[in-house]
Chain A
Amino acid sequence: MAGFQPKKEAIISAGIDIGTSTTKIIISRFSLMNVAGSTHVPRIEIVDKEILYKSPIFRTPLQDATTIDIKGVELIIRSQYEDAGIQSSDIETGAVIITGETATKQNAREIVHYLSREVGDFLVAAAGPDLEGIIAAKGSGTYDYALKTGRVTANIDIGGGTANIAVYKRDKLLGTCTMHVGGRLIEFKDSTVMSISPPIEQLLKQENKSLRLGDTNRHPDIKFIADFMADSITRVLAKEVKAEDEVLLLGHKPNWNEPVEAIMFSGGISECMYEQEITRPSDISYNDIGKQLAASLQSNRRLTEWDWIEPEETVRATVLGAGTQTTEISGATIQVAPDELPVKNVPVYKYSFHGHLEKGLAALGQSIKEAINIYDSFQEGQNFVLYLADLPYVGFKDIQKLARAILQVMELRHDPEQPILLVMQMDYAKVLGQTLLAMNARQSVICIDQINVDHGDYMDIGRALQSEVVPVIVKTLTFHSS
Chain B
Amino acid sequence: MNEQLIQTITKLVVEKLKSNEVSQPSAGTADVQIKLHSKQATGALTELPPPENPNGKVTFHQTTSAKPEKKSAVHPQPAEKTISKQEEFIEELKKKTPSRIGVGRAGSRPKTNTWLQFRLDHAAAVDAVYGEVPDKILHQLDLFQVQTRVKDKEEYIRRPDLGRKLSDEAKELIKKRCAFSPSVQIVTSNGLSAKAIEENLEDVYLSLVQSLGNLGIETGTPFYVDKGRVALMDEIGDVLQPDVVVMLIGERPGLVSAESLSAYLCYQPRIGTIEADRMVVSNIHKGGIPPVEAGAYLGTLIQKILKYEASGVSLVKKEG
In chain A, positions 167-213 with a C-beta closer than 8 Å to chain B are: 170
Q: Does A427 contact B (CB under 8 A)?
A: yes
For chain A, the bracket of interface size reads 20 to 34
Q: Does A394 contact B (CB under 8 A)?
A: yes
Q: Does B105 contact A (CB under 8 A)?
A: no
Name the distance in Å between B96's Cβ and chain A's nearest Cβ. 12
Contacts of A7 in B (CB 8 A): 319-320
Q: Does A65 contact B (CB under 8 A)?
A: no
Chain A CB within 10 A, most for which of B85, B280, B282, B290:
B290
> Can you name the residue of chain B whose Cβ is closest to the Cβ of A333?
B297
Say yes or no: A150-B211 contact (C-beta < 8 A), given A333-B297, A431-B296: no
CA separation between A4 and B291, bound complex, in Å?
A: 30
Say yes or no: A399-B292 contact (C-beta < 8 A), given A41-B281, A333-B297, A437-B214: yes
Contacts of B290 in A (CB 8 A): 393-394, 426-428, 431
Contacts of A427 in B (CB 8 A): 289-290, 293
Chain B CB within 10 A, most for which of A38, A333, A434, A437:
A434
> Can you name the residue of chain B whose Cβ is closest to the Cβ of A170?
B92
Contacts of A394 in B (CB 8 A): 290, 292
Say yes or no: A39-B214 contact (C-beta < 8 A), given A428-B290, A430-B296, A434-B299: no
> Can you name the residue of chain B whose Cβ is closest to the Cβ of A394?
B292
Contact indicator A41/B210 (Cβ below 8 Å): no
Of B283, B295, B300, the contact of A39 (CB 8 Å cutoff): B283
In chain A, positions 20-70 with a C-beta closer than 8 Å to chain B are: 38-41
Q: Does A438 contact B (CB under 8 A)?
A: yes
Contact indicator B293/A431 (Cβ below 8 Å): yes
Q: Does A220 contact B (CB under 8 A)?
A: no
Main secondary structure on B side of the interface with A:
helix
Say yes or no: A396-B202 contact (C-beta < 8 A), given A39-B282, A428-B290, A431-B295: yes
Name the distance in Å between B194's Cβ and chain A's nearest Cβ. 18
Contacts of A333 in B (CB 8 A): 293, 296-297
Contact indicator B293/A430 (Cβ below 8 Å): yes
Q: Does A435 contact B (CB under 8 A)?
A: yes
Contacts of B289 in A (CB 8 A): 40-41, 427
Contact indicator A396/B295 (Cβ below 8 Å): yes
Q: Does A85 contact B (CB under 8 A)?
A: no
Name the distance in Å between A20's Cβ and chain B's nearest Cβ. 38
Given contacts A39-B281, A434-B210, A438-B213, 13 further A-B contacts (CB under 8 A): A4-B316, A39-B282, A40-B281, A40-B283, A40-B289, A394-B290, A395-B292, A396-B291, A428-B293, A430-B293, A431-B293, A434-B299, A437-B214
5 contacts between A and B (CB under 8 A): A41-B294, A399-B207, A427-B293, A428-B290, A431-B207
Q: Which residues of A contact B (CB under 8 A)?
A: 4, 7, 38-41, 150, 170, 333, 335, 393-397, 399, 426-431, 433-435, 437-438
Q: Which residues of B contact A (CB under 8 A)?
A: 85, 88-89, 92, 202-203, 206-207, 210-211, 213-214, 262, 279-283, 286, 289-297, 299-300, 316, 319-320
